[in-house]
Amino acid sequence: MRKPDTLSVLVFIRSWGIFILLALLWAIFSLWAAPNFFDFDNFTQIFQAASLTAVFAAAIAMGVFSGALDLSVPGIASLSAVIMAWLMTHGVNMWVGIIAAMVTGVALGLINGVISLRGINPLAVTIGMLSITSGVAALITTGPAIYGLEALTPIGLDYYFGVPVTFWIAAGVFIIGTVFLTQTRGGAHFMAAGGNPEALRRAGVNANLFKLLGFILSGLLSAVGGVVYSAYTQQADPTPVTGTLFTGLTAVALSGISLAGGRGSLPKVFVGALVIQSIQNVLILKDIQPYVADAVTGVLLIGALGLELAINKGVSKQVVRSRTAANSTATGVLNLVSDKKKG
Amino acid sequence: MAEKFALELENIDLYYGYVRALSSINLTVRPGETVALLGDNGAGKSTLLKVMSGAHRQSSGTLKVHGEVKEFHAPKDSAAAGIEMVYQDLALVDAQDTATNMLLGKEILRKGPLGWAGFLDRKAMREEARNQIAHLGVKIDNLGRPVEMLSGGQRQGVALARSSVRVTEHESGILLLDEPTAALGYEQKMMVEQMIERMAKQGIAVVLVTHDLPLAFKCADRMVVLNRSRKVADIATKDTNNDEIVGWITGARADQAGIK
């Protein structure tokens, strides 16, 4: 057995840090907020809240993976949900309403993408879209939220096999998304479009198509989030819940994604959502003011990105060091040995 | 009888507005031959390389691949003709592993319905990448690591191996290398030299743009020197020496006798 070196430790933290953080938090909270925290019903609540956060986080993550930060997520979510609610309260079948919401999400994502690919900064485009969607949503409802969405109970509040439906929906989104990203050619090209679109182009693949797909998936998942959120709260509010943007973004950052595109894993995003909701949950259990939770989310966001930066710097420093060291086989970094040296 | 050339440039001119970037360049490369394209900054060697790769189009003159006249409008046209360029920036997707980078755009899919749905056969891809890399003598122990964690030489190795595999899919391909050793240490330069030699042995025609004269003398069968957009020398490596080449590069020496 060789002694683990700095590089291996850094790589280990980068790969598994979020899981360690969650385990640590759960252990500390279980003692600090005993016996209420480590309790089946409480964990059900945490998973339920995390599932909602996670769907929005997945929407943001899809954008980030393919190279664009989509800030219109809460706007697309609220407009899609309002369209669904308006249709439902005007005698249209619930499923038609849900499909209309999904189509809205895809269409708005497509618009975001087409405009951004023309060369306007995606941040500006999606902030504009956030504003447009909230305005249009308010026009549809003439201001207030639409109530009376009890028909949505089966996809918002019910339990199946003892588990809240929101968790099943989030699990479905994450499993399909993860399989797509890690197991298919489309997923590989999707990540490459975020990491190095020029490399993809030179390999003969249309990188812009995959960038467009990023916006579309982001829009679609925003709509899914909006529908599930409405089903959970039984109302459709035209005011975008921008809080979901911040918690979602924080979950993405916690998963170790630099927001620079081309890297990341969806399961870790889900764990990031669990971290945030576990913290919010324990603050409620300990009767601490809810404002603290917002502040903590902000600290987590900046802290996570800072740590990511520090680890990456550490890793590249180690890689450079092992490159210059003559006999660096023990570092675990792939060492190129020229035939000459052996001879 | 005309000799069989892999790549043949005849009277290539290129103007940027009124600026003449290339002036009646003639250049030939045989299969399995390595030609070093030398010259000072601004001499036109990168421009010429871009004409060969399809990134730029010549104002006049013809370009032949294996005796056939070709018109390149985009890099994908040259790729279809069996020409691959390894850019100085390597065009690697940093966060992805070696196998994914090696097979970018040419992924191996699973057999059966999963393959029709676009599912990757990761095991076969790793196996393929391992074979291709071993073929060129690059050693990478962990093909599952993101390429950002490889050393500069290994990254160069991945990019070279990827291009060399793509050109060998053609009967005899042409590889264009732009400063392959620019950012490398001594040992890694040695490795790149060996890779170039191995590729030439496989019948690949290599055009090597470099400032690294020792590399050129080690790898190239022939030296072509450009100076102020003109070809001033085209000579077998064994018939020249460092001083002559430096003289042509700097312009201190008169053009090689009989150059055209």
β-pair type (B230-236, B222-227): antiparallel
pLDDT, average across residues B143-168: 83
pLDDT for B21 beyond 50: yes
Backbone angles phi, psi at A158, to 5 degrees: -70, 165
CA dist list (Å): A86 to A150, A152, B193: 14, 13, 69
User: How far apart are alpha carbons B181 and B209 in whole angstroms?
Assistant: 10
Which of B104, B169, B194 should be substituted to probe chain A, the one whose Cβ sees the most A Cβ atoms within 10 Å?
A: B104
Whether residue A2 lies within 8 A of chain B, CB to CB, comes out as no
Q: Residue with structure tokens 């035209």?
A: A238
- Quick one: three-class SS letters along A90-106? CCCCHHHHHHHHHHHHH
Decide which of A13 and A78 is more confident: A78
pLDDT, average across residues A177-196: 94
pLDDT for A328 beyond 50: no
Chain-centroid distance of CA B223 in Å reads 15
Q: Residue with structure tokens 């693949």?
A: A205
Lookup: tokens for B119 = 């599912």
Contact A254, A303 (CB under 8 A): no
* CB nearest to A188's CB, from B120, B138, B185: B120
Least confident of A175-179, B15-19, B101-105: B15-19
Q: Which residues of A141-173 are buried (b: 16+ CB within 10 A; e: fewer)?
A: beeebbeebebbeebbbeeeeeebbbbbbbeeb
Chain-centroid distance of CA A202 in Å reads 29
Least confident of A58-67, A203-212, A327-336, B160-169: A327-336
| Domains present along chain B, CATH in parentheses | 7-94+172-250 (3.40.50.300)
Cα torsion B46, B52, B53, B55 to 10°: value is 70
User: How far apart are alpha carbons B114 and B89 in whole angstroms?
Assistant: 35
pLDDT digits (tens, 9 = 90+) for B224-257: 999 988 999 999 999 999 999 999 999 888 888 7
Provide the 3-class DSSP secondary structure of residue B208: strand
Lookup: tokens for B246 = 């430096």
Alpha-helical regions (H) of chain A: 6-32, 40-65, 73-88, 94-117, 122-141, 165-183, 185-195, 197-202, 207-233, 242-254, 266-285, 290-324, 339-342
Structure confidence at residue A205 as a pLDDT band (50, 70, 90)? confident
Structure confidence at residue A334 as a pLDDT band (50, 70, 90)? very low
User: How far apart are alpha carbons B47 and A180 in whole angstroms?
Assistant: 41
pLDDT for A322 beyond 90: no
DSSP H or E run through B27: strand B19-29
Provide the 3-class DSSP secondary structure of residue B235: strand
Predicted local distance difference test score (pLDDT) of residue A3? 58
Structure confidence at residue B34 as a pLDDT band (50, 70, 90)? very high
Q: Enumerate residues 6+ apart whose C-beta is below 8 A from B178.
A: B46, B49, B85, B86, B87, B88, B209
What residues of chain B, 174 to 233, have a C-beta less than 8 Å from chain A?
A: 185, 187-188, 190-191, 194
Provide the 3-class DSSP secondary structure of residue B168: helix
Decide which of B37 and B43 is more confident: B37
Structure confidence at residue A165 as a pLDDT band (50, 70, 90)? very high
Lookup: tokens for B183 = 């950012």
Predicted local distance difference test score (pLDDT) of residue A331? 32
pLDDT for A332 beyond 50: no
Q: What sign does the CA torsion over A191, A196, A197, A199 have?
A: negative
Contact A176, A182 (CB under 8 A): no
Predicted local distance difference test score (pLDDT) of residue A333? 33
Decide which of A199 and B260 is more confident: A199
pLDDT digits (tens, 9 = 90+) for B48-84: 998 998 888 889 999 999 888 888 887 778 888 888 8
* CB nearest to B118's CB, from A184, A198, A336: A184
Structure confidence at residue B20 as a pLDDT band (50, 70, 90)? confident
Contact A210, A190 (CB under 8 A): yes
pLDDT for A223 beyond 80: yes
Contact B90, B159 (CB under 8 A): yes
Question: Per the CB < 8 Å rule, is B76 touching A315?
Answer: no
pLDDT digits (tens, 9 = 90+) for A121-145: 999 999 999 999 999 999 999 989 9
Chain-centroid distance of CA B14 in Å reads 20
Lookup: tokens for B117 = 């749905």
Backbone angles phi, psi at B9, to 5 degrees: -110, 130
Structure confidence at residue A273 as a pLDDT band (50, 70, 90)? very high
pLDDT for A2 beyond 60: no
Residues in B closer than 8 angstroms to A316, CB to CB, are: 148
Question: Per the CB < 8 Å rule, is B157 touching A336?
Answer: yes
Q: Cis before residue A35, ω within 30 degrees of 0?
A: yes
DSSP letter at B174 equals E
Structure confidence at residue A19 as a pLDDT band (50, 70, 90)? very high
Q: What sign does the CA torsion over B86, B87, B88, B90 have?
A: negative
DSSP H or E run through B134: helix B122-135
- Correct CATH for A47-306 of 1.10.8, 1.10.3470, 3.30.390, 3.40.50: 1.10.3470
pLDDT for A167 beyond 90: yes
pLDDT, average across residues A23-43: 91
Structure confidence at residue A342 as a pLDDT band (50, 70, 90)? very low
β-pair type (A163-164, A159-160): antiparallel
Question: Per the CB < 8 Å rule, is A338 touching B191?
Answer: yes
CB-based burial label for B1 (10 Å; 0-12, 13-18, 19+)? exposed
pTM of the model: 0.84
CA atoms within 13 A on the CB side of A140: 24
User: How far apart are alpha carbons A83 and A77 in whole angstroms?
Assistant: 10
- Across chain A, mean pLDDT equals 87
Lookup: tokens for A263 = 């890297």
pLDDT, average across residues B129-158: 82
Size of interface A-B (CB pairs under 8 A): 112
User: How far apart are alpha carbons A287 and B39 in whole angstroms?
Assistant: 74
pLDDT digits (tens, 9 = 90+) for B163-213: 888 877 766 789 999 988 887 778 778 888 888 888 888 888 999 999 889
Structure confidence at residue A17 as a pLDDT band (50, 70, 90)? confident
Question: Per the CB < 8 Å rule, is B150 touching A322?
Answer: no
ipTM over 0.85: no
Nearest to A63 by CA among A241, A215, A230: A215
